Structure 1
């Protein structure tokens, strides 16, 4: 296992959450605002601070940026990172009918449907990966909490410079997910933060990915179409990276924890995190 501990290096975390959209009405609007995403950013920022891999000045929170502001923030984080570079995105995701690209929809996003749907104001995941791969960071972590997040897996698999990139996706390909209660974080990020805040043990990417999948499936979460909600991950064999340190006194292992008790799934309460057009 090639586990990279980036503590003490120049690390960067860019947390992007689009909770408000300029255009939400038909025929060109996205499905709606996502108030739950506001809570995602606060909770994740605090969890990363407590994990002590990222210093406070190394965490940038980007709230409902437009496409230009997102691109600027992404390039800045990529240029500055030397240890680990973390990109987190929560908001609407969209795919064309072929499902061969994932569009991360920023505040100024709109949708032009048709035989070849286009998504103005959205960033292609291929472009995001290209910018990230230009960074000098030793490891790059991408976390996507949006509809169709799993469609990023194919893009990662065909990306030439993927060795340093570790990808965590909130749901399997071609699935829409519900944003949950607007008063709380989205279901996936709620579980993610709870696991990152496990102060007794170090939290490594692979263990985190396994644990969040176990919690989501064990609690009976379902996608919009009613299938089991199964977060996905992609890494090169043997790659891993530390995302949160132990608070002291813990075993310091690679976080093999999985919860055995199965609860009930969260009842859908707000808009889904994306749409498919094409």
Structure 2
């Protein structure tokens, strides 16, 4: 087992959470806003900082970015990381009928349904992965908390430079998931944060194994009523340290007031989103639900 230890290197984290959407009404809107995602960003940032692998200056939080803002933040982060590059996305996810691509829907996302639906305002996961891999980072970790997150596995498996990339997905392919209560993080990220907050070292593979156990023990189900099973992908023997030691004494206050770095926008006036829906032959769902 090769465990990459990013401590002491130039690392970068980009936490992307889309809790607010510009268009949520039929016929072209996404299923609704996602208030729980706002909590995801606050709690995950706090947990990563207290894990003592990443410094505060290494973490960028992008709140409900447009696709252009996301692209800008992604390219900047990828160019700066030399050790570990960590990308987290929580928001609506959508897939075409073939299920061979995953669309990460940003604030200005919309859906044009049909036999070959298109998703304006969304970033193809294959494009995001290519941008990440174009940078100098030694290892890349991607965590996806969205509907259909598991569909990213096929993209990873066919990716030419996948040795550097480790992938953690909130749910198995072709499944929608519930965003949970508007006052708490989403179910998957909530469990992830609790694991990161434990006073012990945590690697990605260890987190993936324990997440599956915890989601099963809690009885979480996908929208279609099947067991909710987080997925992971990495080359055999590859692993990455994500938390060195959680220090309970270091409780960094989180604030929703600015200033916000480029690519961030504070989410305000959020409301509980509606249910998922399908359009034509293509599917969209909450992405963190």
Q: Normalising by structure 1, report the TM-score.
A: 0.90
On the 8 A contact 1:15/1:60 being kept in 2, the answer is yes
Q: Cα offset for 1:234?
A: 0.2
Equivalence for 1:246 = 245
After TM superposition, give the deviation of residue 230 of structure 1 in Å: 0.2
**TM-align CA RMSD:** 1.4
Q: Answer yes or no: is 1:22 the counterpart of 2:57.
A: no
Following superposition, the deviation at residue 3 of structure 1 comes to 0.6
Instruction: Give the aligned partner of residue 67 of structure 1.
Output: 67
Contact 2:197 2:246 in 1 (8 A): no
Instruction: Tell me which residue corresponds to 2:252.
Output: none
Q: CA deviation at 1:150?
A: 0.2
TM-score w.r.t. length of structure 2: 0.87
Q: Return the alpha-carbon distance in structure 2 between the equivalents of residues 19 and 103 of structure 1.
A: 16
Counterparts of 1:142 and 1:77 in 2: how far apart (Å)? 13
Q: How many residues align?
A: 257
The aligned counterpart of 2:211 is 212
1:231 paired with 2:204, answer no
- Quick one: distance in 2 between partners of 1:156 and 1:13? 20
Alpha-carbon contact 2:14-2:61 (below 8 Å) kept:
yes
Q: In structure 2, what is the Cα distance between the partners aligned to 1:146 and 1:54?
A: 24
* Gapped regions of structure 1 (runs ≥ 5): 249-268
- For residue 76 of structure 1, give the secondary structure of its aligned residue in structure 2: helix
* Structure 2 CA distance for aligned equivalents of residues 158 and 144 of structure 1: 18
Instruction: Indicate the structure whose relative CO is greater, using CA pairs within 8 Å and at least 6 residues apart.
Output: 2
Q: CA shift at 1:218, angstroms?
A: 1.4
Deviations 1:77-110 (A, max 9, x none): 1000011000000000000011000000000000
User: 1:14–1:77: 8 Å Cα contact kept in structure 2?
Assistant: yes
The 3 A distance-change label for structure 1 pair 219 and 164 is same
C-alpha change, 1:226 and 1:21, in structure 2 (3 Å) is: same
Distance in 1, Cα, partners of 2:152 & 2:203: 21
Does the aligned pair in 1 maintain the 2:103–2:119 contact within 8 Å?
yes
Q: Tell me how far apart the structure 1 counterparts of residues 133 and 117 of structure 2 sit (CA, whole Å).
A: 27
Q: Structure 2 stretches of 5 or more lacking a match?
A: 248-271, 283-289
Q: Secondary structure at the match of 1:88?
A: strand
The offset of 1:274, in angstroms, is 8.0
Question: How many angstroms apart in 1 are the aligned matches of 2:246 and 2:209?
Answer: 21
Q: In structure 1, how many angstroms separate the alpha carbons of the residues matched to 2:17 and 2:76?
A: 17
- The residue number in structure 2 matching 1:261 is none
- 1:87 and 1:273 map into 2 onto residues whose CA distance is 25
* Structure 1 residues 108 and 226: alpha-carbon distance in aligned structure 2, compared to 1, 3 A threshold: same
CA distance in 2, matches of 1:184, 1:18: 15
SS of the equivalent of 1:178 reads coil
The whole-number CA distance in structure 1 between the counterparts of 2:184 and 2:98 is 33
**Counterpart for residue 92 of structure 1:** 92
Runs (4+) of structure 1 moved beyond 3 Å?
A: 269-277
Cα displacement (A) at 1:273: 7.2
